[in-house]
Amino acid sequence: MRPHLRKLLSTGAPFVYSMLKCMSLVVSRPDLYLWSSLMKATTNLSGQVALVTGSGRGIGASIAQKLASLGAAVVVCGRTLSHLEAMVSSIRAQGGEARAQACDVNDLASVEKLAAMVEQNFHRLDILVNNAGVGSFAGPLHEMTPQAWEKVLNTNLRGVFYSMRAFVPIMIKSGGGHIINISSLAGKNPLPNGAAYAASKWGLNGLSYSVAEELRSRRIRVSLICPGSVDTELGPHDGKDANKMLKAEDVAHVVAMLVAQAPQSFASEVLLRPTEKP
């Protein structure tokens, strides 16, 4: 572990997060798990409500489980209700609180229906994780169909707009909170044969930076997580060593770090990389 991180951790969580005010943070896996052990000891989300889009499996499922383990009541949503119900059962079996509702982030009416359910049943929302996403890595952009382009951009970018449009008013009424958008290092670098996906993530980054400034005065912190290669069904992993890739749980650990910040601090962006190139 890097000496400067050891020193920060030894001082305790409040000081650590005051050091992160308005910063971009680069985290590798060994450092991440030491941060996580500290957060587990100091973070209690009891009384808070979290919603994670695309949480039936993969990264979203890991995030939902992590937030529930920290005490939050978690709303899981996605397009496949059977996956969501299995996630709710898993969370409840571990003593957590969860509720599922099918939702397609491409459909504004579906998102608004979900928001109405949250407001009616919980009367607040403290944590919104925009995780739902799709990829397209089949070939160069000029061979991509307009339908495939629209699927990627509508899910990865328009879906986040719909989500924020529906849920930010509830968060403002709640007195603030966290919005965490799951982006990608593809939003920082070229991605041959994945131009639409990269464009959606570059766009998501710009949206997040801008909305963060709009909502800071409302005590809502908008943060980005940009993971590298994650061992899930999304993305081209040919030729990569799965043992060296990030796991969905790694992204969930970063979410836990962000929601554990002291009130006066704001870690605006985390670039999450595998320790070794896979």
Average pLDDT over residues 186-196: 95
Amino acid in position 74:
V
Domains by residue range for the chain, with CATH? 50-235+244-273 (3.40.50.720)
pLDDT at residue 12, rounded to an integer? 44
pLDDT at residue 6, rounded to an integer? 47
197 is catalytic: yes
Q: Tell me: the pLDDT tens digits for 130-169?
A: 999 999 998 999 999 999 999 999 999 999 999 999 999 9
Average pLDDT over residues 256-269: 94
SS3 265: coil
SS3 188: coil
| pLDDT over 50 (residue 222) | yes
Average pLDDT over residues 46-75: 97
pLDDT at residue 5, rounded to an integer? 47
pLDDT at residue 24, rounded to an integer? 56
CA 86, CA 84: separation in Å to the nearest integer?
A: 5
pLDDT at residue 42, rounded to an integer? 56
Q: Tell me: the pLDDT tens digits for 1-41?
A: 444 444 444 444 433 333 343 445 565 555 555 555 555 54
| pLDDT over 50 (residue 227) | yes
pLDDT at residue 4, rounded to an integer? 47
> Among residues 262, 270, 267, 233, which one has the least CA distance to residue 248?
233
> Among residues 238, 235, 239, 272, which one has the least CA distance to residue 257?
272
Structure tokens at 146: 């307009």
Cβ-Cβ contacts under 8 Å for 37 (sequence gap 6 or more): none
pLDDT at residue 237, rounded to an integer? 67
Containing 147, the helix (H) or strand (E) segment is: helix 146-153
Average pLDDT, the chain: 88
| pLDDT over 50 (residue 115) | yes
CA 204, CA 243: separation in Å to the nearest integer?
A: 29
- The least confident of 60-64, 165-169, 218-222, 230-234 is 230-234
Residue 39 phi/psi, 5-degree rounding, is -65, -40
277 exposed, middle or buried (CB, 10 Å; 0-12, 13-18, 19+)? exposed
| Number of Cα atoms under 13 Å in the Cβ half of residue 60 | 28
Which one from 17, 162, 197, 209 is the annotated catalytic residue?
197
Average pLDDT over residues 56-75: 97
